[in-house]
Amino acid sequence: MWKGRFHEQTADLLRSFSESISFDWRLWRHDIAGSLAHSAALEKAGLISKDERAQIAAGLEQIGAEIEAGKFEWKVELEDIHMNIEAELTKRIGPAGAKLHTARSRNDQVATDIRLFLRDECVAIGAGLREMQRALVALAEREKDVLIPGYTHLQRAQPVYLGHHLLAYVEMFDRDRQRVADARRRMNVLPLGSGAIAGSTIVLDREMVAKMLGFDSITQNSMDAVSDRDFAVELLAALALVAVHLSRLSEDVILWASGEFGFVSLSDAYTTGSSLMPQKKNPDVAELARGKTGRVVGNLVSLLTTLKGLPMTYNRDMQEDKEPVFDSVDTIKASLAVFAGMLGGVKVNAAACAAAVADPMLLATDLADYLVNRGVPFRHAHELVGKAVALCTQRGCGLPQLSLADYQAISPEYRADLFDCFDLKKAMAARKGTGAPSPGNVAAQIVRWREALGA
């Protein structure tokens, strides 16, 4: 490809090994946008004429239209998105196209393109997270009266409203949305004008270019500008957390949809059957979202590993940033969209939920609180309730089935009103502290989130 100091053709093996056009073609819109802004700076500096800038703009617009229509021919021998577009532009408009690369390098060009690309993707991912939150809030509101056991260690712990459980994920995804937005803010700095490593003796108006491209500011160190991929790592870290949160929600859905739990059933549109067992209905969306988390986490580790041993500044290793970035972005956007769609078709089995939450052992902590309110230190109250539970286990009954005499044989602090602790409605109404799942609190949170999400 190169002339000048090279006297031999690039080996075919090296060409196929080093090309990136097979995946970085996706940056074409951003590459063209960067070139248009760069041409404006070249004209302002007197390095190209107004007519030459117009030729460049018209040529790039024509190339962009062909790419969008799927009619542009990508050439592997030209290696990457930048050279493919520039070479075709020069072929079409002549000398003006050859002037476009003045005072820039592919190093600062690709650093600009990937920031522009990810800046747009952050907006799309933020919108996907919002849709996911809306789907969860809608389900929480639709099933606002349903109680289920809350679990710790996958053991029944205390009763909670299903809506309270779902709103926990709304909180998680909101932190994810904030992290993505914060990553976008930090990446929105223009590196173009940094050249290959040390800028250029041809000084362009970088502030003007930044304004044209919607950047908040410009980089202040040319070496850092071309070698920085912190912004990509930061976004991949945020997306890895999104994936982990999706995976945790997936696990809940998978358990709830199982025959052992039976809390929910999933729409036929978002499940599959078995090739052998006709009775099966598999929660594929949740399983795939859980499985894809490994890829998204792996992409973060991959990029970190690629960067960890690089000396300043740009190294060809950094070409390896795009595939993990593209894959994580695509995976998260698809996972959010299909998961939100699946949640819209979830049907809750209220009878199964009611049967599970009727387990009186779920209110053992309430019984301890009853003793605390009578002046018993919590650790001692915990022990006294534990003795009652042990007696129930021995007899094969629940806490309400023990007699007052049984309780008073354990401790005289137990009184006849202890049985009020096993009234589930009263127990839930008493959970009025901020963040706790009383009916009023859950309803207020649903309203808060509906207003915040514009649902």
pLDDT at 274 over 90: no
Options 274, 275, 328, 380, the catalytic residue: 274
Q: For each of the domains in the chain, give its residue range(s) and CATH number, in order of start.
A: 12-102 (1.10.275.10), 107-355 (1.20.200.10), 359-453 (1.10.40.30)
Question: Contact, 340 vs 358, CB < 8 A?
Answer: no
**What pLDDT does residue 96 have?**
97
Options 7, 153, 275, 403, the catalytic residue: 153
pLDDT at 7 over 80: no
Question: Can you tell me the mean pLDDT for 141-152?
Answer: 97
Share of the chain above pLDDT 90, in %: 94
Element (H, E) at 217: strand 217-218
**What pLDDT does residue 12 have?**
83
* Average pLDDT taken over every residue of the chain: 96
**What pLDDT does residue 245 have?**
98
Lowest mean pLDDT among 31-40, 266-275, 318-327: 266-275
Q: Enter the pTM of the model.
A: 0.94
Question: Can you tell me the mean pLDDT for 324-342?
Answer: 98
Task: Convert the pLDDT of each residue in 38-67 to its tens digit.
Answer: 999 999 999 999 999 999 999 999 999 999
Task: Convert the pLDDT of each residue in 356-399 to its tens digit.
Answer: 999 989 999 999 999 999 999 999 999 999 999 999 999 999 99
Task: Convert the pLDDT of each residue in 116-140 to its tens digit.
Answer: 999 999 999 999 999 999 999 999 9
Is 153 marked active-site? yes
pLDDT at 6 over 90: no
pLDDT at 3 over 70: no
pLDDT at 276 over 60: yes
pLDDT at 455 over 70: no
pLDDT at 1 over 60: no
Q: What are phi and psi of 283, to 5 degrees?
A: -80, 65
Tell me which residue of 425, 35, 386, 334 sits closest to 212, measured CA to CA: 35
Q: By 3-state DSSP, what share of the chain in percent is helix, strand and coil, each rounded to 5? A: 70, 5, 25
Tell me which residue of 344, 348, 304 sits closest to 324, measured CA to CA: 304
Task: Convert the pLDDT of each residue in 224-254 to its tens digit.
Answer: 999 999 999 999 999 999 999 999 999 999 9
Question: Can you tell me the mean pLDDT for 280-284?
Answer: 92
At residue 14 the predicted structure's pLDDT band, cuts being 50, 70 and 90, is confident
**Burial (CB count <10 Å: 0-12, 13-18, 19+), residue 80:** buried
The two structure tokens encoding residue 424: 């589930």
Q: Is the peptide bond before 271 cis (omega within 30 degrees of 0)?
A: no
Question: What is the bridge-based pairing of β-strands 189-190 and 217-218?
Answer: parallel
Pick the more confident residue, 16 or 302: 302
Task: Convert the pLDDT of each residue in 179-215 to its tens digit.
Answer: 999 999 999 999 999 999 999 999 999 999 999 999 9
> DSSP secondary structure string, 44-100?
HTTSS-HHHHHHHHHHHHHHHHHHHTT-----GGG-SHHHHHHHHHHHHHTHHHHTT
**What pLDDT does residue 146 have?**
98
Where do runs of H (alpha helix) occur along 321-362? 322-344, 350-357
Is 274 marked active-site? yes
Task: Convert the pLDDT of each residue in 71-87 to its tens digit.
Answer: 999 999 999 999 999 99
